[in-house]
Amino acid sequence: MPTTKASSQTTADGRGFSTAEKAAMRERAKELKSAQKAQDARAEGLRDLLAKVAEMPPADRAIAERLHELVTTNAPELDPKTYYGMPAYARNGRVVCFFKPASKFNVRYATFGFEDEARIDDGQLFPASFGVKDMTKADEARLVELIKKA
């Protein structure tokens, strides 16, 4: 016959799940639901980002698509999303970097920027955003360096 302590961990007749097992299963169900929500949020963020990129004029779209490839290849842990209607990438819900197309505000050049969450500090004065009209391989290499650091 089980002791009092054991009876809290098994059913009276020895069949079925104990209270502790049921509690563990509830916790696991919560974990799975939370993970699914995170996965759904990531997928939704990606859909939103790609939709915004698709709406851009060709020049901005080409840059945005290349930046998307650079970020997702070199920092796959960042979550795609939109930020004020612009493509962005976040960690734990906080924006790390973003792309502001020239067409958004009818300006001369697009911008790729880093928020403070990126922690790309380099001394007391450092660039946190870059004007982008086009990108060479050297430009891409510099941005990849910063994306990896972020």
Q: Looking at residue 9, what is its pLDDT?
A: 55
Q: Tokens representing 21?
A: 């097992």
Q: Could you tell me the pLDDT band of residue 23, with boundaries at 50, 70 and 90?
A: confident
Count of domains for the chain: 1
Largest Cα–Cα distance of the chain, in whole Å? 82
Q: Look at 33 and 31; give whichever has higher pLDDT.
A: 33
Q: Looking at residue 1, what is its pLDDT?
A: 44
Q: Could you tell me the pLDDT band of residue 4, with boundaries at 50, 70 and 90?
A: very low
| Residue 2 forms part of a structural domain | no
| Residue 43 forms part of a structural domain | yes
> Which CATH number do you get for residue 80?
3.90.1150.200
| Residue 14 forms part of a structural domain | yes
Model pLDDT for residues 33-59, shown as the tens digit of each residue? 766 777 888 899 999 999 999 999 999
| Residue 1 forms part of a structural domain | no
DSSP string, 59-71: HHHHHHHHHHHHH
Exposure b/e, 94-122, CB count within 10 A at least 16 = b: ebbbbbbbbebeeeeebbbbbbeebebee
Q: Looking at residue 28, what is its pLDDT?
A: 73
| Residue 50 forms part of a structural domain | yes
- Whole-structure pTM value: 0.77
CA distance 29 to 97: 33
Print the domain residue range for 67.
9-149
Model pLDDT for residues 85-113, shown as the tens digit of each residue? 999 999 998 999 999 999 999 999 999 99
Q: Look at 33 and 76; give whichever has higher pLDDT.
A: 76
